[in-house]
Copies of this chain bind each other. A is one copy, B any other.
Amino acid sequence: MKSFLTKILIALLLFPIAAFATDPLPSWNDGPAKQSIVNFVEKVTKPGSPDFVPVPERIATFDNDGTLWCEEPLPVQLFFLIDRVKALAPQHPEWTTTEPFASLLKGDAKGVAASGERGLMELIMSTHAGMTTVEFEKIVNDWIATARNPKTGKLFTEMTFQPMLELLAYLRANGFKTYIVSGGGVEFMRAWAERVYGIPPEQVVGSSIKTKFEIRDGKPVLVRLPELNFNDNNGGKAVGINEYIGRRPIAAFGNSTGDKEMLQYTQGGSGARFELLVLHDDAARETAYGPARGLPNVPLVHFTPELDEYAKQNGWIVVSTKNDWKRIYAFEK
């Protein structure tokens, strides 16, 4: 009769080794999307592989809204903008009769939309400029500490996508430097990106307004000016990558037409490359929007049939949140 210890040893030996190996992407369902990620990482990190990429060149860029965290019912920075207009309204009595402020304060989305891009820029400049960079960082930090998504009641910072957090960690564990390259404001994101994503300020690229160096009360400060500096969307994402990072990524991740050029630019380099788009098609667990694949259209963000077709033609991975993600949000852990 075998001893108890021997039985345990045999059981351990028979147990598949793979079951002991930690799955780096546990919130991803097994399938082509997950497999393609693992295949890519393995081939670029394997010494001697024809696809091997040295560590310093392992640059991965991620869109933020809709790629790393939820952008519905509105991109988070718009909630910030709305709250800032409300907070500043008492100091601006003229806003009750000036568009787009009047519509925004009445909660009239159509009225705001009617003011177009010019109106949006006015809203941005009146809420994001006029203070020092240090003051602005504090405003963002105070706001993000308590601001919640109106649909789920969760903190916005809890509504990050768990599969993407795992992907960030998996890439970093394999020598990648992970960057955010987002249309969002760079100083809005830098305030919390390190805490939420483990991405330090110097690895956040985004849209920005101009700043100006001044000595105020004997102290050197940077004052935020009401003037656009850089629009980090569409072709701007490729421009921003070159300007702020100075290296072409070997992997890029997005979710909308605004990310297309970033993925094209990534794919345009030589050697192994990886491009992935997140398609939100899970109305039950998150939200579903397109308009590709018959999904409803939503304002501001777009996964168009043309983008879907372009991805297919060019070998870009399209992730279905419904089929490829076992869990959606980080708070579901």
Question: Which residues A169-213 have CB closer than 8 A to chain B?
Answer: 177, 186-187, 190, 194, 200-202, 204, 208, 210-213
With A212-B235, A213-B239, A244-B244 as contacts: A265 and B220 at CB distance below 8 Å: yes
In Å, the complex CA distance between A267 and B218 comes to: 12
Is there contact, CB below 8 Å, between A201 and B238?
no
Query: What is the 8 Å Cβ interface bit string for chain A, positions 234-266, against chain B (1 contact, 0 not)?
Result: 111011001111110000000000000100110
For the complex, is A294 an interface residue (Cβ under 8 Å from B)?
no
Is there contact, CB below 8 Å, between A56 and B200?
yes
Is there contact, CB below 8 Å, between A133 and B242?
yes
Say how far A187's CB is from chain B's closest CB, in angstroms. Answer: 8
Contacts of A264 in B (CB 8 A): 215, 220
Instruction: Identify which of B201, B219, B246 contacts A202 (C-beta below 8 A).
Output: B246
In Å, the complex CA distance between A80 and B174 comes to: 39
Instruction: Identify which of B204, B222, B246 contacts A239 (C-beta below 8 A).
Output: B222
For the complex, is A130 an interface residue (Cβ under 8 Å from B)?
no
Say how far A262's CB is from chain B's closest CB, in angstroms. Answer: 9
Say how far A145's CB is from chain B's closest CB, in angstroms. Answer: 20
Q: Taking each of A219, A246, A247, which has the highest tally of chain B beta carbons within 10 Å of its own beta carbon?
A: A246
For the complex, is A268 an interface residue (Cβ under 8 Å from B)?
yes
Q: How large is the interface on A (under 10, 10 to 19, 20 to 34, 35 or more residues)?
A: 35 or more
In Å, the complex CA distance between A242 and B208 comes to: 11
Say how far A310's CB is from chain B's closest CB, in angstroms. Answer: 12
Question: Which residues A210-232 have CB closer than 8 A to chain B?
Answer: 210-215, 219-222, 229
29 pairs across A/B with beta carbons < 8 Å?
A56-B194, A186-B243, A186-B246, A201-B245, A201-B247, A202-B202, A202-B244, A202-B245, A202-B247, A204-B246, A210-B239, A211-B243, A212-B235, A212-B239, A213-B235, A213-B238, A213-B239, A213-B261, A214-B235, A219-B268, A220-B238, A220-B261, A220-B264, A220-B267, A220-B268, A222-B238, A222-B242, A229-B243, A244-B244
Residue ranges of A at the interface with B (Cβ–Cβ < 8 Å)? 56, 133, 177, 186-187, 190, 194, 200-202, 204, 208, 210-215, 219-222, 229, 234-236, 238-239, 242-247, 261, 264-265, 267-268
